[in-house]
Amino acid sequence: MEDVKCCVTSCEKPLDAAYWEAQYKTNATGWDLGKISPPLQTYIDTIENKNTAILIPGCGNSYEAEYLLEHDFTNITVIDIAPTPVSVLKEKFKNNLNIQIILGDFFEHQGKYDLIIEQTFFCALPPAMRQKYVWKMHQLLADEGKLAGLLFNRTFEVSPPFGGSIEEYEALFAAAFDFFKMNVSLNSIAPRAYSELFFELKKNNKVNVTIYQFEGITCSGCMEAVTKKFAAIDGILNVNVSSDFAEVLIVSKNEIAIAALQNAISYDQKYQIKKIN
Ligand SMILES: C[S@@+](CC[C@H](N)C(=O)[O-])C[C@H]1O[C@@H](n2cnc3c(N)ncnc32)[C@H](O)[C@@H]1O
């Protein structure tokens, strides 16, 4: 699995712009396939509407964007937090009006897309950001929008990449997205064979997806108790707490008043919940 060992530490450092830029500057880019990932190529070949508004977050050298451009797609946006790959892409596609190349943080990005393509971006984020990822993806997608791509179906001794499992992803995206597909990919590159899931999720536009800051949870037992309290509130469809217990993702049929959430956890004075905008 050499290709996925993209850093040699287990990342006590923040995985910020400086971290990623240093990986590019030192050519420590083991994740970079040098070509489009075959399952993504297969998927892109099925998209008929060449004007589909497509976002590729954490794009790196984005061979996916190159493939889309070669196949006449006209509305591509790529974003990365590291200056080096963004400069390379800006130079490579400097006369191409069909692609917008952004240096920036995905979580600050604003826009509306029909399709967001996932390719080793989710696994590059600290696991505690997974709830925020779901919330942000839901925000950035148009009403009929889809999130599609690859997720690892394994764990790693050295991270990033951070792995996961179908069960975890199903619990994470539940209710916010409709699951069209989440299967072991059959045409991954050899070093990733059978360790990637190809997924296609459609935004559930009938629900509110909200992320909250949470204070006071110190163990998984408390986390489970808090989850149950929230899940029992009328209209709440899914509750998912981040691995550091600092954020809670709530999917609901309608907007839930913050007072109702606070009230549900009032049995313990140290619990505080606050909406993140
Ligand atoms: C493992 S690399 C994958 C790059 C590319 N998708 C590929 O498969 O070759 C993760 C990428 O995400 C970018 N990244 C990490 N955090 C980001 C953020 N918050 N916003 C935008 N890009 C981010 C990094 O700079 C890096 O290019």
Which residue is associated with the tokens 């549900």?
264
pLDDT in tens, 237-252: 999 999 999 999 999 9
* Cβ atoms < 10 Å from Cβ of 190: 6
CATH of the domain at 260: 3.30.70.100
Show which of 148, 169, 203 is a domain's final residue.
Answer: 203
What pLDDT does 1 receive? 35
Show which of 203, 222, 241 is a domain's final residue.
Answer: 203
CA of 256 to the centre of ligand 1 (A): 33
What pLDDT does 10 receive? 45
Calculated CA dihedral for residues 254, 164, 35, 115, nearest 10 degrees: -10
CA of 162 to the centre of ligand 1 (A): 13
CA of 121 to the centre of ligand 1 (A): 5
CA of 116 to the centre of ligand 1 (A): 14
pLDDT in tens, 13-52: 799 999 999 999 999 999 999 999 999 999 999 999 999 9
Pocket residue to mutate for ligand 1, from 6, 32, 35, 80, most atoms within 8 A of Cβ: 80
- Residue 20 CA to residue 86 CA, distance in Å, equals 12
Residues near ligand 1 (Cβ within 6 A): 6, 20, 31-32, 57-61, 79-82, 85, 105-107, 119-121, 124
| Residue 116 sits in the same domain as residue 225 | no
What pLDDT does 13 receive? 76
| Residue 133 sits in the same domain as residue 259 | no
CA angle 17, 118, 244 (to 5 degrees): 60
Q: Are 37 and 188 in contact (CB under 8 A)?
A: yes
Show which of 149, 184, 203 is a domain's final residue.
Answer: 203
What tens-digit pLDDT sequence spans the chain (277 residues)?
Answer: 334 433 434 446 799 999 999 999 999 999 999 999 999 999 999 999 999 999 999 999 999 999 999 999 999 999 999 999 999 999 999 999 999 999 999 999 999 999 999 999 999 999 999 999 999 999 999 999 999 999 999 999 999 999 999 999 999 999 999 999 999 999 999 999 999 999 999 999 999 999 999 999 999 999 999 999 999 999 999 999 999 999 999 999 999 999 999 999 999 999 999 999 8
Q: Can you give the residue range of the structural domain that contains 156?
A: 2-203
Ligand 1: which atom is nearest the Cα of residue 63? Answer: 9
CA of 90 to the centre of ligand 1 (A): 16
| Residue 105 sits in the same domain as residue 221 | no
| Residue 43 sits in the same domain as residue 155 | yes
Q: Are 151 and 118 in contact (CB under 8 A)?
A: yes
Where on the phi/psi map is residue 3: left (φ > 0), alpha (ψ -120 to 50), or beta? alpha
What pLDDT does 9 receive? 41
| Residue 165 sits in the same domain as residue 219 | no
| Residue 13 sits in the same domain as residue 136 | yes
The number of distinct structural domains making up the chain is 2
Give the predicted TM-score (pTM) of the model: 0.95
| Residue 88 sits in the same domain as residue 172 | yes
| Residue 219 sits in the same domain as residue 248 | yes
Q: Are 156 and 51 in contact (CB under 8 A)?
A: no
| Residue 142 sits in the same domain as residue 42 | yes
